[in-house]
Amino acid sequence: MLEIKDLHANINGKEILKGINLTIKEGEVHAIMGPNGSGKSTLSAVLAGNPNYEVTKGSASFLGKNLLELSPEDRSREGLFLSFQYPVEIQGVSMVNFMRAAVNEHRKYKKLPALSASDFLKLMRERKEFVELDNSLANRSVNEGFSGGEKKRNEIFQMAMLEPRLSILDETDSGLDIDALRIVANGVNKLKNPHSSTIVITHYQRLLDYIKPDIVHVLYKGQIVKTGTPDLALELEERGYDWIKKELGE
């Protein structure tokens, strides 16, 4: 589904990703862990097409297409979803208008007719249940005045609406208390199906207790330095990252 080869990327002229290789198959859940500043969020931003980052080398194909040539909106329409670490607030734009625009753009891309207002509202009511958001959601402005937990639940709600093939959860657990974490993780698990894949970016094992990864990677200084089974995450939780640095001869 996703194949990344020797990917290098800069921000403001500084190289952050220094040769990422990663292959994700249909139905797999990959966890990417690593210390602060290792490039985890940069990787998700680059995959989503954030214009602040410049890819200098390497390739990334998504469902057989050259991902790096697609505009950010087309990447979304192709089925790539990023759950933002810090979702932005958009004053004055209601969630219902925002999601309706998004869903209908996705449908247009697939040459499907736009959803009627009533069908859309029905879908929205159904999907917000995944993350236990209440009815007031529809008329609230996008993320405006949302608590930290609500913002993350709202991200997963949008994921439920757009039914992506590949979801990247960028530190979705940060700033969540244990109840919110459970709600968010449950939402993600309910959305899982044999044709969709997930990249979970996190610092902590905690989230992986709920969202079980198939494969765990350690990202360090812009490269994937170790790949293993879910046991690797447990080991990191116990021993920290120093032993990996030692293995790398630092």
Interacting residues with another protein between 17 and 46 (CB under 8 A): none
Does position 9 bind another protein by CB under 8 A? no
Q: Smallest distance, Å, CB 54 to another protein? A: 9
Q: Smallest distance, Å, CB 89 to another protein? A: 8
33 vs 159, which CB is nearer to another protein?
159
Taking CB under 8 A as the binding criterion, the range among 68-76, 118-126, 173-181, 222-230 that sits at the site for another protein is 68-76
Does position 76 bind another protein by CB under 8 A? yes
Q: Which of 61, 97, 186, 205 binds another protein (CB under 8 A)?
A: 97
Does position 93 bind another protein by CB under 8 A? yes
Question: Phi and psi of 236, rounded to 5°?
Answer: -65, -40
Residue numbers at the binding site for another protein (CB under 8 A): 48-52, 71-73, 75-77, 81-82, 84, 87-88, 90-94, 97-99, 101-102, 105-106, 109, 141-142, 158, 162
